[in-house]
Amino acid sequence: GQQVMQIPQYQHVQEGEDFTTYCNSSTTLSNIQWYKQRPGGHPVFLIQLVKSGEVKKQKRLTFQFGEAKKNSSLHITATQTTDVGTYFCAGPRANNLFFGTGTRLTVIP
Amino acid sequence: ETGVTQSPTHLIKTRGQQVTLRCSSQSGHNTVSWYQQALGQGPQFIFQYYREEENGRGNFPPRFSGLQFPNYSSELNVNALELDDSALYLCASSLEQGASRGGYTFGSGTRLTVV
């Protein structure tokens, strides 16, 4: 069945360092979505990418959708303590959204 | 404030009991999806409701059932609770069925503990 894997599973960075998480799907996706879940919180929608090779930016966050529409990445420049949380990618499968395994980001002040 | 309201926020049940969780979708959203999130895991799709009908189901047994009401609010029912059902249950509403446009708006979840 469809699998969406993310690497790394965990990442510890010093505040100010950059961070990247990668998302890989076993199948081609019509779109990819990214969510952030703060510790003890719920997933919050960040962005949706639809086009092959698409790149979108939100302040310090850069999202990219691969040319084959099977992988994606999220890059955070100069991390801040407010970036702490787990970042999930998610892709559609039938009538549901299938979440990746997530990358838990810890930012050390 | 997410616009999606779930109740209760926390619940403790005994193995074998039944539980009902409730969700009010965001205004204007006609589709509700339910997810189970075990500690340290990603959300796992349970089922989706669109126009009061089940519109897709994940790999969960029949003792997980649901309803959607005319006002698009929804319930998740779990019968014969097992210890492994302990998890955060998330409700997500969206503008349309499936997952092709826009993002899901999640509620704060119900933390269920089965003892």
Name every residue whose Cβ is closer than 8 Å to that of residue A47 and which is 6 or more positions away in sequence.
A33, A34, A56, A58, A61, A63, B103
Q: Which of A109, A108, A98, A106 is nearest to A35 (CA)?
A: A98
Question: Is B18 exposed, middle or buried, given 0-12, 13-18 or 19+ CB atoms closer than 10 A?
Answer: exposed
Longest Cα pair distance anywhere in chain A, in angstroms?
Answer: 42
Q: What are the chain A neighbours of B58 within 8 Å (beta carbons)?
A: 96
Distance CA A98, CA B99 (A): 9
Interface size between A and B, measured as CB pairs under 8 A: 73
Upper half-sphere CA count for residue B30 (Cβ side, 13 Å): 9
Beta carbons of B99 and A100 less than 8 Å apart: no
Q: What is the DSSP string of chain A?
A: ---EEEE-SEEEEETT--EEEEEEESS--S-EEEEEE-TTS-EEEEEEE-STT-EEEETTEEEEE-TTSSEEEEEESS--GGG-EEEEEEEEETTEEEE---EEEEEE-
- Model confidence pLDDT, tens digit, residues B56-106: 999 999 999 999 999 999 999 999 999 999 999 999 998 876 666 678 999
User: For chain B, what's the residue count?
Assistant: 115
Beta carbons of B90 and A101 less than 8 Å apart: no
- What's the gap in Å between the CA of A85 and the closest CA on chain B? 12
| pLDDT at position B69 | 94
Q: Would you place residue A95 in the very low, low, confident or very high pLDDT band (cuts 50, 70, 90)?
A: confident
Beta carbons of B104 and A94 less than 8 Å apart: no
- Model confidence pLDDT, tens digit, residues B24-45: 988 888 899 999 999 989 999 9
Which of B47, B50, B106, B108 has the highest number of chain A CBs within 10 A, making it the mutation to test binding with A? B106
Distance CA B66, CA B89 (A): 13
Element (H, E) at B90: strand B87-94
Interfacial B residues in 73-112 facing A (CB < 8 Å): 88, 90, 92, 97-109
3-state secondary structure of B50: strand
Region A76-102 average pLDDT: 93
Which residue in A31, A95, A102 is closest to B55 by CB distance? Answer: A95
Residue A100 touches chain B, beta carbons under 8 Å: yes
- What's the gap in Å between the CA of A94 and the closest CA on chain B? 7
